């Protein structure tokens, strides 16, 4: 992405909702708060094209010029997330059909069929207007296409296109029948025209997960096409300007690695729930940084105060917005953008936080905090822009495994891929060990990593297990878990025992997997060569009953008919080591195991810190920048040991134990 001279600071602004005097006041307040980027006009299609092919851009021309006169740049959004009423009325096929077959009514935003040709035609047409008018405007920093894609559709157009997509993927109907294993329940299809979208109405019990899985892939492909429809138009006017979109924080529905290949930069909207632990937010940032191989990302939205759409919309506590903002930057964001700049008068989000609230005042807690943060970000300049996060640990994240694992009926209904990733990620977060999220493919290069963690890598697509096996053989450490290596890319289970193609590297075979009720548990008794701080830990959820072949047994189950059988193993394989955890252990076990593995793999955390205190490091042209973040409401410390840092905001020199007040942040350079 084009290098800015400063962190972009600002967010969504909807000037078409305000009169001239209010806009004038906004400009004054934006300057006061150090705002240097505004995203607009995300939802203004109805105003810009009041009739098909009739455009009214005069007001937007004027506001962009005015923003630029105030020294602020723009992230220009094509307004295609919310089609105008005439489009839905004249061409009802633009509206999505839901899983129950109902054509939905106009009124919602992000509520169109991504395969509607009419939608695509009108979206491209308005993108041309944007390109023609603004592609060389000096205020233009980046293009933002639509908003939070992710609408499923089951309309006749999608139905027809799904059949074509399948024909291209499988060639012949015999191949499709074999891949989907349609012989089960006699679901054989004789022609592509007989294939139905996996809707609920057709669902007497559960649709074949192989069909559902392909629908998810299809939806990703079609949504990418829909995005590219506009991207290509914008690029044709000025290839230099980066084009992106903003991903919803609820990221399951579209394969974000596939999407990101089409973006110049990843942008995402961070709206943590009050109960989300800091490591969960950190992990999502790391995932976003991973989507384009470690490239810095755009924090496209966050709330400057409470949300409105959660059941209980807690105020962000003093210092919390600052802390969350720096956490994003600490994990790779080069922007700090909010939704929204001025709180809307009415509508669905009238109670959503904004920099300027309904009071219109600047002597508010939220505005003052925003202003103070603006000053700090101005002072930091381009210090860490485009800086990378050196990491020696990779986490594998595979959207196909995520979908397939959670589509499967059994062994437990509580399967939760993100939660499992988060359970394994937390110990690394707590030790300030940087982690990259990587899409496992046949050609993934793991050579820079001392350790690869693959929680519930349920599906191994062609070449993936082979690449991981070679990585271990060559000296790498691989940690795999229960529910790994069970299925191929069509969700057909592997023969010859799980973890399938990873069996050789793991040195085990899994005979069966017990699923416990939430109130049940088992125990892990540590045995054999690995000494851990405790002899016994709790475990539950899923318990593999497995056999060690070449692997050493590190822990056995404590209870039940499989008491005394292996549960955690380690296999020396080639020059490397493969670790396997056949259950869901309690957190303390994952902490202790992470310590043991990191010791063997030679992985160290940045600094020691008290619980809730996080330290990260980004390295760029201007050297290394270290972020120290205290997620506690109370004072807590990081221990720099002999390292010496200088606080870029206060000028203080730091070494040894560094105190951080509750929700305190330090941004430092290394001395
Ligand atoms: C999303 C949308 C915004 C707004 C916010 C509110 O992220 O992109 O338009 O609705 O949520 O939290
Ligand atoms: Zn459709």
Reading the block at residue 261, the tokens are 């290949």
> How far is Cα 31 from Cα 479, in angstroms, rounded to an integer?
50
Q: Is 621 a catalytic residue?
A: no
Reading the block at residue 547, the tokens are 């056999």
DSSP 8-state code for residue 494: P
- Lowest model confidence (mean pLDDT) among 3-12, 123-132, 414-423, 560-569: 3-12
Residue 491 has pLDDT above 80, yes or no: yes
Interval between CA 182 and ligand 2 midpoint (Å): 25
Q: Decide: 269 in ligand 1 pocket, CB within 6 A.
A: yes
> How far is Cα 503 from Cα 481, in angstroms, rounded to an integer?
12
DSSP 8-state code for residue 164: H
Q: Mind listing the pLDDT tens digit for each residue in 542-575?
A: 999 999 999 999 999 999 999 999 999 999 999 9
**Mutation to probe ligand 1, out of 274, 301, 314 (largest number of atoms < 8 A from CB):** 301
Q: Looking at residue 201, what is its pLDDT?
A: 67
Q: Decide: 93 in ligand 1 pocket, CB within 6 A.
A: no
Give the pLDDT band (50/70/90) at residue 1.
low
Percent of the chain, pLDDT > 70?
99
Ligand closest to CA 120: 2
Give the pLDDT band (50/70/90) at residue 250.
confident
Q: Mind listing the pLDDT tens digit for each residue in 286-304?
A: 999 999 999 999 999 999 9
> How far is Cα 246 from Cα 268, in angstroms, rounded to an integer?
5
> How far is Cα 660 from Cα 613, in angstroms, rounded to an integer?
9
Q: Is 225 a catalytic residue?
A: no
Strand order, beta sheet including 8-12 = 243-244, 140-145, 73-78, 37-40, 8-12, 335-338
* Ligand 1 atom with the shortest distance to the CA of 269: 7
3-state DSSP call for residue 327? helix
> How far is Cα 91 from Cα 488, in angstroms, rounded to an integer?
41
Q: Decide: 349 in ligand 1 pocket, CB within 6 A.
A: yes
The radius of gyration computed from the CA coordinates of the chain, to the nearest angstrom, equals 26
* Ligand 1 atom with the shortest distance to the CA of 308: 12
Give the pLDDT band (50/70/90) at residue 646.
very high
Q: Mind listing the pLDDT tens digit for each residue in 439-450?
A: 999 999 999 999
Where do the domains of the chain lie? 8-153+216-380, 156-211, 393-601, 608-670
- Closest Cα to residue 637, out of 602, 594, 607, 595? 607
Q: Mind listing the pLDDT tens digit for each residue in 442-473?
A: 999 999 999 999 999 999 999 999 999 999 99
3-state DSSP call for residue 541? strand
Interval between CA 277 and ligand 1 midpoint (Å): 21
Q: Looking at residue 200, what is its pLDDT?
A: 72
Q: Do 512 and 562 contact (CB within 8 A), yes or no?
A: no
* Ligand 1 atom with the shortest distance to the CA of 303: 12
State the catalytic residue, choosing from 49, 93, 148, 614: 148
> How far is Cα 664 from Cα 631, in angstroms, rounded to an integer?
8
Q: How far, rounded to the nearest angstrom, does the alpha carbon of residue 440 sit from its chain's CA centroid?
A: 16
Ligand closest to CA 42: 1
- Closest Cα to residue 400, out of 487, 505, 290? 487
Give the pLDDT band (50/70/90) at residue 4.
confident
Reading the block at residue 34, the tokens are 């150090």
Q: Looking at residue 3, what is its pLDDT?
A: 56
Q: Does domain 608-670 have CATH number 3.40.50.10440?
A: no
Assigned fold of 8-153+216-380: TIM Barrel (3.20.20)
Interval between CA 249 and ligand 1 midpoint (Å): 10
Beta 636-647 vs 653-660: how paired, if at all? antiparallel
Residue range 181-204: average pLDDT?
88
Give nearest CA residue, ligand 1 atom 3: 339
State the catalytic residue, choosing from 49, 93, 301, 614: 301
Q: Decide: 144 in ligand 1 pocket, CB within 6 A.
A: no
- Closest Cα to residue 273, out of 265, 264, 284? 284
Give nearest CA residue, ligand 1 atom 10: 349
Interval between CA 155 and ligand 2 midpoint (Å): 4
> How far is Cα 148 from Cα 245, in angstroms, rounded to an integer?
7
Q: Decide: 43 in ligand 1 pocket, CB within 6 A.
A: no
Q: Decide: 148 in ligand 1 pocket, CB within 6 A.
A: yes
DSSP string, 101-157: SPBPPBTBSS-S-TT-HHHHHHHHHHHHHHHHHHTT-TTEEEEEESSS------SHH
Reading the block at residue 494, the tokens are 């592997």
Q: For the chain, give the mean pLDDT.
A: 97
Interval between CA 157 and ligand 2 midpoint (Å): 5
Reading the block at residue 586, the tokens are 């309690």
DSSP 8-state code for residue 634: S
Give the pLDDT band (50/70/90) at residue 204.
low
3-state DSSP call for residue 635? coil
Ligand closest to CA 116: 2
Residue 186 has pLDDT above 60, yes or no: yes
Residue 2 has pLDDT above 90, yes or no: no
Interval between CA 40 and ligand 2 midpoint (Å): 27
Burial class of residue 586 (count of CB atoms within 10 Å of its CB; 0-12, 13-18, 19+): middle
Would you say the C-alpha torsion 415, 418, 421, 425 has a positive or negative sign? negative
Which CATH number applies to 393-601? Answer: 3.40.50.880
Beta 477-481 vs 451-454: how paired, if at all? parallel
Would you say the C-alpha torsion 326, 328, 330, 332 has a positive or negative sign? negative
- Other Cβ atoms closer than 10 A to 224: 21
> How far is Cα 391 from Cα 167, in angstroms, rounded to an integer?
41
Q: Looking at residue 206, what is its pLDDT?
A: 72
Q: Mind listing the pLDDT tens digit for each residue in 335-365?
A: 999 999 999 999 999 999 999 999 999 999 9
**Mutation to probe ligand 1, out of 245, 284, 298, 339 (largest number of atoms < 8 A from CB):** 339
Give the pLDDT band (50/70/90) at residue 105.
very high
Interval between CA 85 and ligand 2 midpoint (Å): 18
Q: Mind listing the pLDDT tens digit for each residue in 15-70?
A: 999 999 999 999 999 999 999 999 999 999 999 999 999 999 999 999 999 999 99
């Amino acid at each position: 992405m084009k290098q800015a001279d400063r962190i972009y600071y600002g967010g969504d602004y909807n000037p078409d909702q305000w009169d001239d005097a209010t806009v004038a006041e906004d400009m004054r307040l934006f300057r006061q708060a150090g705002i240097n980027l505004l995203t607009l006009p995300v939802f203004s299609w109805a105003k810009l094209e009041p009739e098909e092919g009739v455009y009214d851009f005069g007001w937007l021309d004027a506001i962009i010029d005015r923003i630029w006169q105030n020294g602020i740049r723009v992230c220009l959004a094509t307004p295609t997330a919310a089609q105008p009423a005439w489009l839905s009325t004249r061409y009802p096929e633009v509206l999505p059909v839901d899983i129950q077959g109902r054509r939905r009514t106009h009124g919602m935003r992000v509520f169109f069929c991504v395969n509607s040709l009419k939608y695509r035609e009108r979206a491209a047409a308005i993108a041309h207007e944007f390109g023609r008018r603004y592609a060389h405007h000096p205020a233009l920093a980046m293009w933002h296409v639509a908003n939070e894609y992710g609408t499923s559709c089951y309309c006749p157009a999608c139905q027809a296109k799904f059949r074509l997509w399948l024909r291209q993927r499988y060639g012949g109907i015999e191949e499709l029948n074999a891949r989907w294993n349609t012989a089960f329940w006699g679901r054989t299809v004789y022609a592509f025209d007989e294939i139905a979208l996996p809707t609920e109405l057709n669902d007497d019990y559960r649709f074949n997960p192989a069909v559902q899985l392909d629908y998810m892939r299809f939806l990703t492909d079609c949504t990418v096409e829909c995005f590219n429809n506009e991207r290509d138009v914008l690029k044709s006017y000025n290839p230099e300007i980066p084009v992106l979109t903003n991903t919803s924080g609820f990221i399951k529905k579209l394969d974000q690695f596939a999407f990101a290949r089409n973006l110049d930069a990843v942008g995402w909207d961070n709206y943590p729930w009050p109960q989300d632990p800091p490591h969960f937010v950190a992990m999502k940032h790391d995932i976003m940084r991973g989507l384009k191989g470690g490239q810095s990302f755009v924090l496209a939205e966050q709330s400057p105060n409470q949300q409105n759409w959660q059941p209980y919309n807690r105020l962000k506590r003093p210092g919390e917005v600052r802390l969350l903002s720096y956490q994003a930057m600490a994990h790779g964001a080069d922007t700090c953008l909010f939704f929204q700049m001025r709180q809307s008068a009415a509508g669905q989000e009238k109670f959503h936080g904004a920099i300027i609230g309904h009071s219109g005042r600047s002597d508010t807690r939220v505005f003052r905090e925003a202003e103070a943060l603006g000053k700090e970000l101005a002072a930091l300049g381009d210090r860490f822009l485009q800086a990378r996060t050196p990491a020696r640990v990779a986490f594998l994240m595979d959207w196909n495994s995520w979908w397939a694992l959670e589509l499967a009926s059994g062994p437990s209904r509580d399967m939760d891929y993100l939660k499992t990733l988060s359970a394994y990620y937390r110990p690394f977060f707590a030790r300030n060990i940087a982690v990259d999220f990587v899409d496992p493919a046949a050609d993934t290069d793991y050579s820079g990593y001392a350790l690869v963690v693959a929680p519930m890598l349920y599906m191994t697509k062609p070449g993936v297990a082979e690449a991981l096996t070679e990585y271990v053989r060559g000296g790498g450490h691989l940690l795999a878990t229960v529910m790994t290596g069970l299925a191929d890319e069509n969700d057909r289970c592997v023969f010859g025992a799980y973890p399938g193609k990873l069996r050789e590297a793991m040195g085990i075979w899994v005979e069966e997997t017990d699923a416990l009720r939430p109130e049940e548990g088992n125990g892990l008794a540590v045995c054999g060569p690995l000494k851990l701080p405790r002899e016994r830990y709790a475990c539950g959820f899923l318990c593999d009953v497995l056999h060690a072949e070449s692997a050493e047994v590190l822990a056995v189950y404590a209870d039940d008919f499989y008491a005394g059988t292996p549960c955690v193993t380690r296999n020396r394989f080639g020059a490397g080591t493969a670790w396997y955890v056949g259950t869901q252990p309690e957190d303390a076990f994952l902490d202790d195991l992470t310590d043991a593995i990191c010791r063997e793999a030679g992985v160290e955390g940045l600094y020691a810190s008290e619980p809730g205190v996080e330290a990260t490091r980004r390295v760029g042209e201007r050297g290394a920048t270290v972020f120290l973040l205290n997620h506690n409401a109370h004072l807590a410390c990081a221990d720099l040991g002999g390292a010496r840092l200088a606080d870029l905001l206060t000028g203080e020199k730091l070494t040894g134990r560094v105190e951080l007040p509750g929700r305190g942040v330090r941004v430092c350079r290394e001395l």
